[in-house]
Amino acid sequence: MRILVTGGTGFVGRPLCQRLAEAGHDLLVVSRDPASARDLLPAGARVADTVMAFAEARPEAIINLAGESIAGKRWSEAQKHRLVDSRVDITRELVKLCGRLAESDAAPQVMLSGSAMGYYGDQGDNRVTEETPPHDEFAHRLCERWEQEAKAAEAHGVRVVLVRTGLVLEKDGGTLAKMLTPFKLGLGGPFGSGRQFMPWIHREDMLALLEFLLEREDLSGPFNASAPKPETNAAFTATLARHLKRPAFMAVPACVLKVGLGEMANLLLTGADMRPARLEEAGFRFQYPTLDQALTAILGR
C-alpha cells in the first residue's frame, strides 16, 4: 500500500514509518526539511515538503500525525494560534488532496488523523469513552477543529479515523523522557492534588493500534488511543518512582504550576479517566495493559 505520512520523523511517526516499511508498504512522507528527514526515514521512503507534491503518486492511505508540540511553549495567544494552525492547515491540505484524487476515482481508502485526550477537556473522576461529551476549554476546541477538518475527507469517499491519543510512553521521547531525570535525582512527585487522571499508552501499542485501524475497513470515527487502565497522577508518579527505586515526594503545588505555565498548567492539573472502549470492542488487544507492565518493558532494557 502507498501510505502518505505527515509527522513521519516525530516520536511516534519515525518508528511507525520503520514498521510500515518492514511490512512492505511504500512510504510518502511530508516534511518541512526533506533533506534531514531522509536521514531519519527507512531507505526507499519518498519525501517532499508539500502534500500536493504526492498527487501523482496517488496515495492509498494517509496517516496524519503532524502538529506543533502542545507542551512546547507557554500558551500565549500567538502560540495558541500556532498550535491550531499547525494541525488544521496540513489536515486541510490532505483533504484537498483527497478531493483532487477523487475527481479521477483515486481517492485514498482511509485517513487516520491524530487528535488527543484533550478533546474531552477536564473530566474529573468521570469514566470517559468515545461517547462522553467534552468539557469546553482550549484543548477541546483545538482537537475539535482538528477533527472537523479531517472529517471533511468523508465527502470524498475516504474512511476517516480520529485517534485521540493519551501520553505515549518510551524513554527516548515524550512525557516519560522528561520525567526520568528529575525522578532519578529523587526530585519527582505529583502535580497539584495528584487526583487528576493521566491516560497513557506504551509506544509499541500505539504503533500496533495504528496498523490495526489502518487495516480494519469496517472501523471509522473516534478511537481513544490509551491503555485500558489509566492512572491518577499520584499513582503514576508513585509507580515510576518504585521502578526507578527513588522517592517521589517533591509535589509541585498547583499555584506554582499556574504561575510558571499559565493556562498551559491545565495540561498537568486536569485530565480524563479515558478508556479505549471502541478499540477493545473491535478486538484490539494491548500488549501492555498496565503501567507496571509498560514501565517494566521500557526501563528494564
Pairing of strands 231-232, 197-198: antiparallel
Tens of pLDDT along the chain (301 residues)? Answer: 999 999 999 999 999 999 999 999 999 999 999 999 999 999 999 999 999 999 999 999 999 998 877 766 777 888 888 888 889 999 999 999 999 999 999 999 999 999 999 999 999 899 999 999 999 998 999 999 999 999 999 999 999 999 999 999 999 988 899 889 989 988 888 888 889 999 999 999 999 999 999 999 999 999 999 999 999 999 999 999 999 999 888 777 777 767 676 765 667 778 899 999 999 999 999 999 999 999 999 998 6
Q: Shortest CA distance to 226 belongs to which of 301, 127, 122, 109?
A: 127
What domains can be seen in the chain, in order of their start residue?
2-299 (3.40.50.720)
Residue that the C-alpha cell 526507578 belongs to: 244
pLDDT at 270 (0 to 100):
80
Count CB-CB contacts under 10 A for residue 277: 17
Q: List phi, psi (to 5°) of 168.
A: -85, 125
Pairing of strands 61-64, 46-48: unpaired
272 half-sphere exposure, CB direction, 13 A CA radius: 28
Q: List phi, psi (to 5°) of 249.
A: -115, 5
pLDDT at 264 (0 to 100):
57
Full-model pTM: 0.94
Three cell numbers, residue 38: 531522509
* Amino acid, single-letter form, for residue 254: A
Q: Shortest CA distance to 61 belongs to which of 31, 26, 12, 23?
A: 26
